[in-house]
A and B are shown apart, each in its own frame.
Chain A
């Protein structure tokens, strides 16, 4: 009988932060000099000893280094923001599904959602990047992706085009019939609209979803989106999966397991 599966390990490894880089208003990247076997779109669990542990997308990746990018929103991310080079956090993972790598792709990132698609942009061949945020100061990775074909949009028009990323995407897909795939991460309401635009243009879509998680490896059941587990079946879901999930863009479970509207969920988590 098989007996090697019990060697599985999912315990935080405490690492020193090798660098902290400011990315945009309230957003910072935390770097670690450590190799990590990782595919674009996967996430890690970040532990601040004595406080809490949360999932974060891997936003920079090279052979001997990785980073995640966090936006200070709640108690945990505000504590993260105060951390400096040399401070220690626990890391486990990576976890979850990853983006498929297709050519003729467009990547749509909203705000800090850019973090989940950034390592994908690094490996894609000549993607069109739509980088959007509320206003100029919230935009991230402008320098990082300046060599890419990038369209920047802000809701208030303070930088780049004025308008939502979905409007920009609609224009791109109308003009450029070669695009076969759209990758997206941002607010779930935005991603639902992105999927809608893709469906109208008959273009495949992959989105990175977020839910409250305890384990990250398919045990606790807190991140269920209908019959899917966000942590192991996702966080990357394709058009077919997204359309089979009535909860997508509509409902999410709180820490207690009670299902609420996505707006209410974002107020709490």
Chain B
């Protein structure tokens, strides 16, 4: 009932662990697979080892979740030793990558491709920049990064993860598709800040971070809706999906699959199974046999 095809990959259900939450080790991938996710995205890796920012790096309240972890990671070379390969784990794995410079995106993509992930996701939201502004904020820069990754990924499909912190996400998505992207992951966190009025300081060590959780959902739904009108490639709708109804809403906006990250915070690691059960309940009640019937229906 929930089975989908994403860029030729069969997923038992459309829920995908979003990058940045758990997904750090082989053992955590297995654990999330066992808890019902259709696929698992690894925490983003780049060409070097990074500690990330100090704490507080994340906190949540009232349906709002903030994080500024600063892209910590062991680096792609160390991860290669750790994981060995990614195509023989209990669940399809999406390898998330980034670099500081365009060439590094290509180099990391090549190394990631050697692990044989089901898909490569590209985090173009990295704050390190070659051209004065981040890669996600400019159609030409997004095209350059997409091209560099595609040239090194071989047959492995590539999804570009877009940021909502732009004037027009449609032109960025269009540019990624034109440069060969096989899918779009939308969206990354929205930029935000929380100040503790007693401490009179921003809570996050990095001061500015990304807003996720239910607060992000309307922004994500709007972005998926706009991207669906612009491109033909599939969309992994990510941002605030916590309940089955949120996943249905994403599909109605045009998503093929849904990313779940902060949802784990609210509902535990079993959130994947819970969301799937709730989706099926809704489908039965509304006599919907397959997600294809409702995909993008909000546009009609």
Interface residue ranges of B1-45 to A (CB < 8 Å):
21-25, 27-28, 30-31, 43
Q: What's the least CB distance linking B184 to chain A, in Å?
A: 25
**A5 CB–B CB distance under 8 Å:** yes
A259 cross-chain contacts in B, Cβ below 8 A: 25, 74, 82
Q: What's the least CB distance linking A5 to chain B, in Å?
A: 5
Which of B46-54, B141-149, B230-238, B290-298 sits within the interface?
B46-54
Cβ-defined contact, A224 with B27, below 8 A: yes
A256 cross-chain contacts in B, Cβ below 8 A: 49-52, 72-75
Cβ-defined contact, A5 with B267, below 8 A: yes
Cβ-defined contact, B72 with A88, below 8 A: no
Cβ-defined contact, B62 with A258, below 8 A: no
Cα A208 to Cα B205 with chains together (Å): 28
With contacts defined as CB atoms under 8 Å apart, how many contacts are there between chain A and chain B in the complex? 135
**A215 CB–B CB distance under 8 Å:** yes
Cα A88 to Cα B198 with chains together (Å): 9
The contact string, 1 if C-beta is below 8 Å from chain B, for chain A 32-55, is 000000000000010101111110
A54 cross-chain contacts in B, Cβ below 8 A: 55
B208 cross-chain contacts in A, Cβ below 8 A: none
A220 cross-chain contacts in B, Cβ below 8 A: 21-22, 57-58, 69
Q: Closest residue to B203 on the A side, CB-wise?
A: A12
Cα A253 to Cα B72 with chains together (Å): 12
- Of the candidates B57, B59, B245, B266, the one whose C-beta lies within 8 Å of that of A1 is B245
Q: What's the least CB distance linking B191 to chain A, in Å?
A: 19
**A63 CB–B CB distance under 8 Å:** no
- Of the candidates B78, B266, B268, the one whose C-beta lies within 8 Å of that of A6 is B266
**B185 CB–A CB distance under 8 Å:** no
Determine the main DSSP class of A at the interface with B: loop
Cα A224 to Cα B24 with chains together (Å): 9
**B244 CB–A CB distance under 8 Å:** yes
**Number of A residues with CB within 8 Å of any CB on chain B:** 41
- Of the candidates B28, B30, B203, B243, the one whose C-beta lies within 8 Å of that of A11 is B203
A5 cross-chain contacts in B, Cβ below 8 A: 242, 266-267
**A7 CB–B CB distance under 8 Å:** yes
B243 cross-chain contacts in A, Cβ below 8 A: 1-3
**A257 CB–B CB distance under 8 Å:** yes
Cβ-defined contact, A47 with B56, below 8 A: yes
The contact string, 1 if C-beta is below 8 Å from chain B, for chain A 1-17, is 11101111111101000
**B63 CB–A CB distance under 8 Å:** yes
A124 cross-chain contacts in B, Cβ below 8 A: none
Residue from A8, A9, A254 whose CB has the most chain B CB atoms within 10 Å: A8
Q: What's the least CB distance linking A98 to chain B, in Å?
A: 18
**A134 CB–B CB distance under 8 Å:** no
Cα A269 to Cα B61 with chains together (Å): 29
Cβ-defined contact, A224 with B25, below 8 A: yes
Cβ-defined contact, A257 with B213, below 8 A: no
Q: Closest residue to B207 on the A side, CB-wise?
A: A50
Say whether, besides A50-B201, A220-B58, A1 and B74 are in contact (CB < 8 Å).
Answer: no
**A180 CB–B CB distance under 8 Å:** no
- Of the candidates B51, B52, B82, B196, the one whose C-beta lies within 8 Å of that of A49 is B196
Q: What's the least CB distance linking B67 to chain A, in Å?
A: 8
- Of the candidates A50, A90, A221, the one whose C-beta lies within 8 Å of that of B24 is A221
**B126 CB–A CB distance under 8 Å:** no
Cβ-defined contact, B55 with A221, below 8 A: no
**B265 CB–A CB distance under 8 Å:** yes
**A78 CB–B CB distance under 8 Å:** no
**A255 CB–B CB distance under 8 Å:** yes
B283 cross-chain contacts in A, Cβ below 8 A: none
Cβ-defined contact, B214 with A6, below 8 A: yes
Cα A258 to Cα B48 with chains together (Å): 11
Cα A108 to Cα B62 with chains together (Å): 41
B25 cross-chain contacts in A, Cβ below 8 A: 221, 224, 253, 257, 259
Cβ-defined contact, A49 with B199, below 8 A: yes
**A92 CB–B CB distance under 8 Å:** yes
Cα A51 to Cα B267 with chains together (Å): 30
**B129 CB–A CB distance under 8 Å:** no
Say whether, besides A1-B244, A214-B57, A224-B24, A257 and B63 are in contact (CB < 8 Å).
Answer: no
**B220 CB–A CB distance under 8 Å:** no
**A217 CB–B CB distance under 8 Å:** yes
Q: What's the least CB distance linking A221 to chain B, in Å?
A: 4
A224 cross-chain contacts in B, Cβ below 8 A: 22, 24-25, 27-28
Cα A239 to Cα B139 with chains together (Å): 56
**What are 24 A-B contacts with C-beta separation under 8 Å?**
A1-B244, A5-B266, A6-B214, A7-B63, A10-B59, A11-B194, A49-B196, A49-B201, A90-B56, A90-B196, A90-B199, A215-B58, A218-B265, A218-B269, A219-B22, A220-B22, A221-B22, A221-B28, A224-B25, A224-B27, A226-B27, A256-B51, A256-B75, A259-B25
**A residues neighboring B (CB under 8 Å):** 1-3, 5-12, 14, 45, 47, 49-54, 88, 90, 92, 214-215, 217-222, 224, 226-227, 253-259
Complex A-B, nearest 4 residue pairs according to Cβ-Cβ distance, in ascending order: A53-B55, A258-B74, A49-B199, A14-B198
